[in-house]
């Protein structure tokens, strides 16, 4: 009986997919979880020494700061004098570093070989701090300059606005000019040679005229009586 070619291909594909699935489950395939980009890699065991960079940097700065003091120079001077004196005089004939003091030179060379990298490390840390401080100072300077420019523009606008406002002296001068003009107009209106001049009667003239008219009427009434 002949087998169906389509069914045989499907069965072969199923066997391959099953084998690939088992291979991936064991974690040895090219698509295993250890090589997937969306899966964090678990760090393996390392035999390199581990240290705290911040702690080591602080130690380097402390050491470099101590080497730059007068106390360190005094300690080193006393140490060298004692070393040379003991090796020249000798205690019970013991001279562990006779002249030319090769062991002392080796000690100084070792100290210099360690001191130079520590000093460089301290300088690098100080340079990094200076760079951060410089960036902060630059930002602060930029903000300060912007604030000063804003205040300068505000002061200029206030000066322009104040220049358009009438001051006290200006108002006083205008009032004096108006008063002088009114006085001059009043004097011109009261001149006798002015055609529009209105003669002002003295106070009480109206009452005197009415009194004289009343007296005339009274005399006329007495003359006509029998």
Asked if residue 148 is part of any domain, the answer here is yes
Asked if residue 42 is part of any domain, the answer here is no
Specify the 3-state DSSP secondary structure of 31: coil
Residue 110 has pLDDT above 70, yes or no: yes
Residue 23, C-beta contacts closer than 8 angstroms, at least 6 positions apart: 29
Tens of pLDDT, residues 169-181: 778 888 888 888 8
**What residue numbers bound the domain in which 126 lies?**
53-162
Asked if residue 192 is part of any domain, the answer here is no
Asked if residue 125 is part of any domain, the answer here is yes
Residue 126, C-beta contacts closer than 8 angstroms, at least 6 positions apart: 61
Asked if residue 104 is part of any domain, the answer here is yes
Residue 224 has pLDDT above 50, yes or no: no
Asked if residue 132 is part of any domain, the answer here is yes
Asked if residue 103 is part of any domain, the answer here is yes
Tens of pLDDT, residues 36-79: 666 666 666 667 777 778 888 888 888 888 888 899 999 999 99
Asked if residue 47 is part of any domain, the answer here is no
Mean pLDDT of 124-139: 91
- Note the pTM of the prediction, 2 decimals: 0.44
Mean pLDDT taken over the chain: 76
Number of separate domains in the chain: 1
């Amino acid at each position: 009986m002949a087998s169906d070619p389509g069914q045989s291909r499907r069965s072969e594909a199923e066997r391959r997919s099953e084998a690939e699935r088992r291979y991936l489950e064991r974690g040895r395939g090219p698509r295993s979880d250890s090589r997937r980009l969306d899966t964090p890699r678990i760090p393996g065991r390392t035999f390199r020494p581990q240290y705290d960079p911040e702690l080591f940097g602080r130690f380097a700065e402390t050491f470099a700061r101590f080497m730059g003091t007068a106390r360190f120079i005094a300690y080193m001077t006393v140490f060298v004098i004692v070393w040379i004196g003991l090796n020249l005089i000798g205690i019970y004939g013991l001279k562990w570093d006779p002249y030319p003091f090769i062991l002392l030179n080796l000690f100084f060379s070792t100290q210099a070989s360690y001191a130079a990298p520590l000093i460089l490390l301290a300088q690098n840390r100080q340079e990094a701090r200076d760079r951060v401080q410089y960036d902060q100072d630059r930002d602060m300077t930029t903000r300060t300059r912007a604030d000063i420019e804003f205040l300068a523009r505000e002061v200029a606008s206030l000066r322009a606005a104040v220049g358009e406002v009438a001051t006290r002296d200006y108002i006083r001068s205008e009032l004096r000019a108006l008063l002088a003009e009114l006085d001059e107009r009043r004097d011109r209106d009261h001149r006798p040679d002015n055609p529009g001049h209105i003669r002002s009667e003295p106070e009480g003239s109206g009452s005197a005229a009415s009194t004289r008219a009343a007296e005339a009427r009274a005399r006329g009434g007495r003359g006509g009586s029998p």
